[in-house]
A = this chain, B = another copy of it.
């Protein structure tokens, strides 16, 4: 069904009555069917119950060959285990079995948005990752400083991975240009990586990359992929020419490569779909940015796990949904530091009583993907999940771990179903159909 009015939107009598209209969103690249969100929107209702979604980034792991235990199984987690005992457990697939998700798809899935349908362009994602306040209409691109030889052919796509400081210096040289009434922001990300954001009237992002993705060839001329994007292509090519002139003396970073031109997507908000008043607590910009894209309010917080839980407590009265993001587990996993990941998990467990003492109607603890220290990166392994509520049907799992969750009552299921499940347990969903 593609954008049809279905009876499903009509059926949720109470909630759906004002919503008897075509219900889909226009996302980049065309209309996308969002049957599941339609369904949920038609039956969701606002209520005073509260949901806390605690995301322990990269939670899932692989067993240490010496002990046979994963990071989570190694950690001493009496509080999580107690919650698992009283709640119901399972395993989630953020995208689908075998797929290793990046942070964006991982989190979109946790928020209930099919990560294959809901795309975020690379440029926008990078901008979000550095807390750049990207506005509707802006076009963002991911940039690399690169090296070209005297004939203009790319010899190093990363300019020898210049330092972040050097990158910041070079960005300053390019930042603030105005081309054809369009203001350009050029901001450093890390090492050779930067972003360019174009701000002005009537910009379109459908232009090709200048990054040829290989060496020995010249950077590509940017072309419009749709007629409306002709001006954008022209402005971009002017910027690239100016950048080349400005950077001429800065070998090895004497040129730029751009890709992933994109605009901030207009996703349906969690307020619209779920009728929640959601807030995000995250010490890292990327996760705040992702939360903002689905309409969460961002709460100011500190950098420690304790800070984040304190922020939850302070703001507990003002929202009915909290996304609380713990970064340290993923960072430790990426670093291949098994023991540090164990310690971060133990720190979360140790801080957990400040959350449980608030007695949220529903607590969900999970991760956006696995990050086994053994793999030093994100992985495809399903992620343990526990859900605690007065109305869950407890299972026999008494320990929050990968191997115990295999036997959980939630089974193994797609991460996009977590929010409907949490909503149900918070009694925030009407019956579907009579």
The answer, yes or no, to whether A243 is at the interface (CB within 8 Å) is no
Q: In whole Å, how far is A23's beta carbon from the nearest beta carbon of chain B?
A: 13
Interface of A is mostly: loop
A206–B70 CA distance with the chains assembled, in angstroms: 57
Query: How many copies of this kind of chain does the complex include?
Result: 2
Chain B, Cβ-Cβ closest to A411: B412
Given contacts A17-B213, A28-B7, contact A102 B402 (CB under 8 A): no
Chain B, Cβ-Cβ closest to A265: B7
The answer, yes or no, to whether A174 is at the interface (CB within 8 Å) is no
The answer, yes or no, to whether A200 is at the interface (CB within 8 Å) is no
A93–B253 CA distance with the chains assembled, in angstroms: 54
The answer to whether B7 and A96 have CB atoms under 8 Å apart is: no
The answer, yes or no, to whether A394 is at the interface (CB within 8 Å) is yes
The answer to whether A2 and B5 have CB atoms under 8 Å apart is: no
Given contacts A62-B393, A381-B393, A433-B101, contact A30 B7 (CB under 8 A): no
Q: In whole Å, how far is A109's beta carbon from the nearest beta carbon of chain B?
A: 10
A5–B135 CA distance with the chains assembled, in angstroms: 24
Given contacts A403-B396, A424-B380, contact A429 B117 (CB under 8 A): no
The answer to whether B433 and A102 have CB atoms under 8 Å apart is: yes
The answer, yes or no, to whether A97 is at the interface (CB within 8 Å) is yes
The answer, yes or no, to whether A252 is at the interface (CB within 8 Å) is no
The answer to whether A406 and B395 have CB atoms under 8 Å apart is: yes
Q: In whole Å, how far is A41's beta carbon from the nearest beta carbon of chain B?
A: 13
The answer, yes or no, to whether A99 is at the interface (CB within 8 Å) is yes
The answer to whether B434 and A119 have CB atoms under 8 Å apart is: no
Question: A residues 69-114 with Cβ under 8 Å of B?
Answer: 70, 91, 95-105
A323–B352 CA distance with the chains assembled, in angstroms: 49
Q: Find A6's partner among B119, B396, B433 (CB 8 Å cutoff).
A: B119
The answer to whether A102 and B431 have CB atoms under 8 Å apart is: yes
Q: In whole Å, how far is A67's beta carbon from the nearest beta carbon of chain B?
A: 13
The answer, yes or no, to whether A167 is at the interface (CB within 8 Å) is no
The answer, yes or no, to whether A378 is at the interface (CB within 8 Å) is yes
The answer to whether A378 and B99 have CB atoms under 8 Å apart is: no
The answer to whether A115 and B1 have CB atoms under 8 Å apart is: no
Among A5, A97, A421, chain B packs the most CB atoms within 10 A around the CB of A97
Question: A residues 324-344 with Cβ under 8 Å of B?
Answer: none
A23–B104 CA distance with the chains assembled, in angstroms: 23
26 chain-A/chain-B pairs, Cβ below 8 angstroms:
A1-B33, A1-B117, A4-B29, A6-B116, A7-B120, A10-B122, A11-B119, A35-B116, A43-B99, A62-B391, A63-B394, A70-B393, A91-B411, A98-B420, A98-B422, A98-B423, A98-B425, A99-B424, A101-B433, A103-B434, A125-B434, A375-B391, A379-B424, A380-B429, A382-B411, A411-B412
